[in-house]
Amino acid sequence: MSHKHTLRVDAIAIQLGGDLVGDGARELSGLSSLADAGPSDISFYSDLRYSKLLESTRAGALITKEPVSELKIPQIVHPDPFLAFLELVDEFFPVPPASGGIHPLAQVSESARLAEKVTVMPFASIGDEVSIGAGTVIHSGVVIEARASVGDNCTLCPNVIVRERCRIGARVILQPGCVIGGDGFGFARRDGKFIKVRHVGTVDIEDDVEIGANATIDRATLGRTLIHRGVKIDNLVHIGHNVEIGEDSAMAAQAGVSGSTVIGKRVLMGGQVGMVDHLTIGDDAILIAQSGVIGNVASGAMVSGYPARPHKEVLKSTAELRRLSELRKEVRALEEQVRALQQKAANDE
């Protein structure tokens, strides 16, 4: 993944479908942020918060929404500079083609069905009746257990585990060490002792999902744990048994969802958020980092704190709390004044 390419600015402008301002013959060999870019890098500007960096950037070219007249470097005017920049990443850092074969040190069951152009790296283990879609890459140390299925063009990074009968859609990325389909944490408690509830359900991960490194998605007790299309889950997140997460929702690192909670579409969850079991979180809700959610959350609501409440109320309470010693002093002063009034009234009698 080294950058072998050198590209001219005018060629880049054509590729991105942007308008060129300035010298199109400038050659570039990399891309970088405004702060880190050097003279052979192209950068982008799309956020007013970074306007100060325009004065000091050493970038060799810029992708921008509006031409920046002060900058004496070639510019490509594009309606979405960040998206254009992301497109260029693949130019400068081309994804290396996968080997497209099964390494002799991999272990693949005879009853597994592998489609075309599947790559299986050393020490990966693929169980009975597993099916793997075309173009999928299975890295070293991955374990896919019996009767699981993985769709087309997925990436299973090193040491990923997909347990028996779980289903992974297409274009899913499983970051290193994540565990799909471990047992849910379910026990019957009798006389103070725990009796294990076997988890015979599965996990179903739809298309275009990404799961972070060392995250854990538990299988259902019965039925299935369901991660809908386009969901993005960060590192070290925990998803309990029978949870359902709606399309295009995202969870930041170390968040956790307890069993049977149902999360809507486009919900955003900050890092270290926790949710108790059997909740319903409405579409487009925002759960701010470290929230401890113990009740249902309405669609579009923004909550924070423990126990989680509307974020505006939390901010207000926090401000009130800071002024609490001041309030106490005011009450003390009032007591003094009332005592004086009482004294006076008594004297007057």
Q: How far is the CB of 74 from its own copies (least distance, A)?
A: 20
Q: Is 17 a binder of its own copies (CB under 8 A)?
A: no
Measured in whole angstroms, the distance separating CA 229 from the mean position of its chain's CA atoms is 13
Beta carbon of residue 294, minimum distance to its own copies (angstroms, whole number) = 8
**Alpha-carbon gap, residue 83 to 65, rounded angstroms:** 11
For its own copies, which is the closer residue by CB, 84 or 118? 84
Q: Please report which residue ranges of the chain form alpha helices under DSSP H.
A: 9-16, 51-56, 81-92, 311-322, 324-348
**Among 17, 198, 295, 300, interactor with its own copies by CB under 8 A:** 198
Which residues, in sequence order, are bridge partners of residue 310?
A: 303
Residue in 165, 203, 226, 227 binding its own copies, rule: CB under 8 A: 165
In the chain, % helix, strand, coil (3-state, to 5) comes to 20, 30, 55
Q: Identify residues 22-81 at the interface with its own copies (CB under 8 A).
A: 31-33, 36, 80
In whole angstroms, how close is the CB of 14 to its own copies at the nearest point? 22
Collect all residues with Cβ–Cβ distance below 8 Å to 256 and sequence separation of at least 6: 237, 238, 239, 240, 273, 274, 275
89 makes contact with its own copies (CB under 8 A): yes
- Does residue number 194 form part of the binding site for its own copies (CB under 8 A)? yes
Least distance between its own copies and beta carbon 111 (Å):
14
Find the binding residues for its own copies in span 247-276 (CB under 8 A).
248, 250, 252-254, 256, 258, 266, 270-272, 274, 276
- The candidate with the shortest Cα–Cα distance to 60, out of 46, 41, 45, 76, is 41
Among this protein's residues, is 241 annotated catalytic?
A: yes
What size, in residues, is the chain?
A: 349
Among 103, 228, 241, 311, the one annotated catalytic: 241
Q: Least distance to its own copies from the beta carbon of 138, Å?
A: 12
Give the C-alpha separation, 172 to 155, whole Å: 6
Count Cβ atoms below 10 Å from residue 103 Cβ, excluding itself: 16
Structure tokens belonging to residue 249 = 């929702």
How many residues make contact with its own copies (CB under 8 A)?
A: 111
Residues 271-330 contacting its own copies, CB under 8 A: 271-272, 274, 276, 289-290, 292, 294, 305-307, 309, 313, 316-318, 320-325, 327-328, 330
Active-site residue numbers?
241
